[in-house]
Amino acid sequence: MPTAPDAVARATGLRKQGRYGQAMQVLRGVLADRADRAAALEAARVLTDVCSYVDAWELSRTHLDRDLEDVDALILRSEIRCGLGRIAAGVDDATAATVLAPSYAPAWSQLAAARWIACDGSGSARALREALRLDPDDVVALNGLEPLAERAWPILRAAADRNADDALRLVAVALSCAGLGDLREARRYADRALVVDPDRDEARIMDGWLHLHEGRFEDLERVATQLLAELDSGVAHWLRAYALYAQARLDEAVAEFDHAIAQAPAEIDSLRVRGDVQFHRGRWADAVRDAGAVLDRKPDDVEARLLRARARVALDDNGAALRDIAAVLAADAGHAEALTLRADIKLLDGDDAGALVDVDRALGTGTASVDALLTCGLALTRLQRNYDAAAAFRAVLELDPRNEPAARHLALATRLWRRHPRGMAAAIADVSVGGTALAIILGVGPVTGRPGSS
């Protein structure tokens, strides 16, 4: 059996090559002695890199809390604390690292990452610029250039050109491209990284993440399952959870999200999506809980607030749902999803004309979703405008041909209209709302996703 120093040295080499499972395998033999600081910190670095923050903290906390003059230990503690949701403490650790080593780029790039998590975009951008001034190829800085917005692109392209044979930095460039919204560029650099080193875990993780956004869910599941076979890690559970959710395997997805969140409890995307899974499983109280946990950390998270509102409607707590909707509309008065959800509540409360007002505003934003059109059709049906309701349900079926509620209501609206015909012009004349909705559902306004639409 190798000595502890030999094992740590070998594991460090494997970690730097992106072979995390192999690195942990080497370290397991020496981790029984928690007093070995070097082994504990190296294992914590491996686990932090794969988003297993709870395990990393359990292994290393006594060592990290003991030596506050070790810059790399402070940086590691900052990463772990941010992953655990102790973000202010993570910012403090990274700040202390920059004070101890003001010319050390990794200290500044970790400060940038911590400030970004803390929603301090300007502070993050300042720290990023300093990190890149000290080292234009700092990996953590290249990983997260979103705070620089459009100014990030020349930095990324130059870094990719300098590091054409460096898989880790190509992955970093790909990750920032994705964060900046260009998935095509992200895929291009991720594929280059896989050519350079197809066995590097960071490249495989990035490949899997892009499979998710490309709709290649079975490929994503394959990548995640392979990663889990090598190392039980938070990031692999996270990837597999998304793959299962996308394939409507909801019970399995929740179990995987549970594993991922257990290791990275501050990962709000996982909490939000697990809440969405719970909503679709009919576990509405759990959905409210997860959405609330997201909002505790990020009060302006619109997706979480609307998820909680939908779950509260399902729990027959319309008053609380309306408060969530009002918070969204206070920031964006024309938010189509919030207006549609409020229209749904008005339908439940018997305010059919009010529902049509809201859904008309939602459709007036130029984004006609299936939900908005379906609500529009239901409101028109309740108002006995059956001809117009049928047109709305047909528009739903154009976007979603398998939408059973729309097909069922279309048949009913058509029968009622034929039994009690009302002219469309007369209907518009005697009801003062619905003009925008009708323009869209009759094909003279924009319908998002309509075949042939631009």
Domains located in the chain, CATH noted: 270-331 (1.25.40.10), 346-454 (no CATH)
Q: Helices 20-28 and 37-49 sit at what angle, rounded to 10 degrees?
A: 150
Range in 202-216, 402-416, 422-436 with the lowest mean pLDDT? 422-436
Across 15-40, b (16+ Cβ under 10 Å) vs e yields bebbbbbbbbebbeebbeeeebbbbb
- pLDDT at res. 159: 94
> What are the phi and psi torsion angles at 84 (to 5°)?
-85, -5
What is the distance between the alpha carbons of residues 49 and 72, in angstroms, rounded to a whole number?
14
What is the distance between the alpha carbons of residues 432 and 350, in angstroms, rounded to a whole number?
18
pLDDT for 36 beyond 60: yes
- pLDDT at res. 423: 42
Question: Predicted confidence band at 385 (pLDDT cuts at 50, 70, 90)?
Answer: confident
- pLDDT at res. 431: 38
Residue-wise pLDDT for 283-312, tens only, equals 999 999 999 999 998 899 999 999 999 999
pTM over cut 0.95: no
In eight-state DSSP terms, residue 431 is: S
CA 100 to chain centre: 34
What is the distance between the alpha carbons of residues 439 and 452, in angstroms, rounded to a whole number?
17
Cβ–Cβ < 8 Å for 347, 378: yes
Q: Where are the beta strands (DSSP E) in 219-328?
A: none
Query: Smallest Cα–Cα separation from 360: which of 346, 378, 344, 373?
Result: 373
Q: Which residue carries 């095509």 as its tokens?
A: 184
> What are the phi and psi torsion angles at 231 (to 5°)?
-160, 125
Length of the chain: 454
pLDDT for 449 beyond 50: no
pLDDT for 453 beyond 60: no
Query: Smallest Cα–Cα separation from 272: which of 263, 261, 256?
Result: 261
- pLDDT at res. 419: 57
Average pLDDT over every residue of 405-434? 58
Residue-wise pLDDT for 127-142, tens only, equals 999 999 999 999 999 9
Q: Which residue has the higher pLDDT, 2 or 414?
A: 414
**Percent of residues, the chain, with pLDDT higher than 70:** 90
In eight-state DSSP terms, residue 453 is: -
Q: Helices 201-214 and 234-246 sit at what angle, rounded to 10 degrees?
A: 20
What is the distance between the alpha carbons of residues 103 and 85, in angstroms, rounded to a whole number?
28
CA 30 to chain centre: 37
pLDDT for 434 beyond 50: no
- pLDDT at res. 391: 86
Residue type, position 285, single letter: A
Q: Which residue carries 């000290």 as its tokens?
A: 134
Structure tokens at 142: 């290249």
What is the distance between the alpha carbons of residues 448 and 454, in angstroms, rounded to a whole number?
8
Torsion sign (Cα): 231, 235, 240, 241:
positive
Average pLDDT, the chain: 88
Residue type, position 440, single letter: I
What is the distance between the alpha carbons of residues 429 and 410, in angstroms, rounded to a whole number?
23
Query: Smallest Cα–Cα separation from 317: which of 292, 352, 353?
Result: 292
Structure tokens at 26: 């080497």
pLDDT for 249 beyond 90: yes
